[in-house]
Amino acid sequence: MQTPYSKSAGPFKRTVNQVSIGIGEYFVSNQDVVIHTVLGSCVAVCMYDPEKKIGGMNHILMPSNPEMNKYDDSARYGINAMELLINAIMRLGGNRKKMVAKTFGGANMLKSISQENAVGSRNAEFVVNFLRAEKIKILGRDFGGHDSRKIFFHIATGEVFLKRVPSMRAILDAEQRKRNRIKEQLEEPADITLFE
């Protein structure tokens, strides 16, 4: 049995049957492993050969490398991350023509920036265009919004589980609304009961 393959910009955490990847990392395996990550404006692609049950996930920071003259093979940048993921799946025996994908992330974490100018939107657009150009079918996607996402990709089944995590701004806004309601209640005249 072949072992999982990974390359990362930093160390990844591994527990029993689970691998956590961060920005600029990817992990590929042909074993019963759950890969997980947390996304804001970054995008993750879960790619899978359903016949061979070989799959992996990457975590993309930017759609392209801004300094091509300082090129490296970092998975932080879209084109590198996609090629590294595909090639690693193929090294474990995956068939490029059978690969399918599910994609997530691309949140606009700063509400003051328009959706079309946000890096999350550019990341999502890059991934969709890349997969279409490579004729890799997209089985599912969840992009945009303002919340972070926790993604769990189960290689044995090809299933992806998503948990939304409200952004800090959303949490702060909700707390402020609650404080305002309490303040309004305290300012309302209280009922008075007189005892004889």
- What tens digit of pLDDT does each residue of 161-185 get? 999 987 666 655 666 676 677 667 6
Active site residues: 42
Q: For residues 161 and 128, what is the distance between their CA atoms, to the nearest angstrom?
A: 20
Q: Note the pLDDT of residue 7.
A: 45
pLDDT mean over 90-116: 86
The domains located in the chain, with CATH, are 5-187 (3.30.1330.200)
Residue 128: pLDDT over 80:
yes
Q: Note the pLDDT of residue 196.
A: 61
Range list of β-strands (E), the chain = 5-7, 13-15, 18-20, 26-29, 34-39, 43-49, 54-60, 100-105, 137-143, 148-154, 159-165
- What tens digit of pLDDT does each residue of 19-73 get? 999 988 999 999 999 999 999 889 999 999 999 999 999 999 888 755 544 545 5
Q: Note the pLDDT of residue 20.
A: 95
Residue 132: pLDDT over 70:
yes
Residue 23's identity, in one-letter code, is I
What is the residue-averaged pLDDT of the chain? Answer: 81
Phi and psi at residue 166, in whole multiples of 5°? -55, 140
Q: Is 106 left (phi over 0), alpha (psi -120 to 50) or beta?
A: left
- Look-up of token digits 């091509």: 68
Residue 148: pLDDT over 70:
yes
